[in-house]
């Protein structure tokens, strides 16, 4: 895949032969490399980092577009994860009926990302919009360093030490599992399959995956018969309220405050389920 620069450029589309799709580029207010973001004394200058394509209905727009008018959020950075594989995988999951909900959303969100409503919402609110191909690229780290706080929301990139140290206050993650016990990938799906409580945790990011102090922890009700993607949508609505409260708290304190994220005998690390496990989920009545 051709690399996308993590620097600001005028809003336009550039053709990528690897994607066969026009790639939306920098928009929003004029953001030169020396641009100074306005910040009131109680505001924490925040960069939201998210993926160009997710499996969440509305492409995680309830959270991303919902933060467009938050006074703490100064910009959004979209990490490019599109390619021919994304819609092909989505179509395969849908056609096989193995995970039709997830598959349909991957295809739908890949198409909607061509003229991304989340990006339009940020630009309409006067926020900077950045694009990058990797979180640990030097040019991306230079962007992170311009902010007080970074919020990582539904990306699968692992931040290196330099990226984690770049923002003044630090990086926080919205983890879709209940820490300290549910760690790894798709924890909310595994928790449903195991009959355990589901939810999300907002925590400081650290070198170790899903470690760092717990800032907020919320359970999300599992509604019988509701598709997993709709559960993710319901979670995103609750995440918006929770992250706005966290931003207010960090803005007032000027630092991240949390409780220890200590492993317990019940702590488990989850991974992306394989074919046999997905079949097992369906047999348990989970609608993927």
Q: Determine the pLDDT at residue 97.
A: 78
User: How do residues 198-208 score in pLDDT, each as one tens digit?
Assistant: 999 999 999 99
Q: Determine the pLDDT at residue 84.
A: 54
Q: Which residue ranges form the domains of the chain, and what is each CATH number?
A: 13-28+38-283 (3.40.50.170)
Beta-sheet pairing, 21-24 with 13-16: antiparallel
Q: Determine the pLDDT at residue 37.
A: 54
Q: Is 213 exposed, middle or buried (0-12, 13-18, 19+ CB in 10 A)?
A: middle
Q: Determine the pLDDT at residue 45.
A: 96
Distance CA 16, CA 20 (A): 6
Dmax over Cα atoms in the chain, in whole Å? 55
| Number of CB atoms found within 10 A of residue 12's CB | 11
Distance CA 46, CA 39 (A): 10
User: How do residues 63-109 score in pLDDT, each as one tens digit?
Assistant: 999 999 999 999 999 999 876 566 677 777 766 777 888 888 888 88
Is-contact 176 188, C-beta < 8 A? Answer: yes
Buried b (16+ CB within 10 A) or exposed e, 149-169: bbbbbbbebebeeebbebbeb
Q: Which residue has the tokens 């979209």?
A: 78
Q: What is the mean pLDDT of each run of 10 residues along the chain (288 residues)?
A: 33 26 37 53 88 92 95 96 70 76 88 92 96 95 97 94 97 97 93 92 95 95 86 94 96 94 94 87 86
Is-contact 178 167, C-beta < 8 A? Answer: no
Buried b (16+ CB within 10 A) or exposed e, 84-112: eebbebbeebbeeebbbbbbbbbbbbbeb
Cis peptide before 180 (omega within 30 of 0): yes
For residue 30, the SS3 value is coil
Q: Determine the pLDDT at residue 77.
A: 97
Distance CA 148, CA 254 (A): 9
Q: Determine the pLDDT at residue 101.
A: 86
φ/ψ bin of 279: left (φ > 0), alpha (ψ from -120 to 50), beta (otherwise): alpha
Q: Determine the pLDDT at residue 65.
A: 95
Q: What is each CA distance from 35 to 8, 147, 191, 206, in whole angstroms?
A: 11, 12, 44, 28
């Amino acid at each position: 895949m051709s690399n996308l620069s993590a620097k600001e450029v005028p809003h336009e589309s550039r053709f990528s032969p690897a994607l066969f799709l026009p790639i939306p580029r920098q928009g929003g207010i004029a953001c030169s490399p020396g641009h100074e973001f306005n910040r009131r004394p109680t505001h924490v200058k925040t960069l939201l980092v998210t993926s160009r394509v997710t499996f969440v209905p509305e492409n995680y727009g309830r959270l991303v577009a919902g933060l467009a008018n938050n006074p703490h959020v100064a910009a959004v950075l979209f990490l490019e994860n599109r390619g021919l594989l994304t819609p092909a995988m989505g179509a395969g999951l849908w056609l096989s009926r193995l995970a039709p909900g997830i598959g349909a959303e991957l295809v739908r969100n890949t198409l909607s990302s061509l003229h991304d409503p989340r990006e339009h919402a940020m630009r309409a609110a006067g926020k900077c919009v950045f694009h990058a191909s990797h979180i640990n690229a030097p040019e991306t780290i230079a962007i992170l360093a311009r902010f007080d706080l970074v919020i990582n929301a539904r990306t699968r990139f692992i931040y290196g030490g330099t990226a984690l140290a770049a923002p003044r206050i630090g990086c926080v993650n919205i983890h879709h599992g209940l820490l300290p016990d549910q760690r790894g990938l798709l924890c909310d799906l595994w928790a449903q399959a195991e009959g355990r409580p589901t939810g999300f945790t907002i925590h400081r990011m650290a070198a170790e995956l899903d470690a760092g102090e717990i800032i907020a922890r919320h359970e999300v009700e599992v509604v019988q018969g509701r598709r997993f993607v709709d559960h993710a949508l319901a979670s995103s609505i609750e995440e918006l309220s929770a992250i706005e409260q966290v931003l207010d708290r960090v803005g007032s304190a000027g630092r991240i405050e949390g409780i220890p994220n200590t492993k317990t005998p019940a702590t488990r690390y989850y991974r992306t389920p394989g074919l046999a496990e997905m079949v097992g989920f369906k047999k348990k009545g989970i609608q993927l």
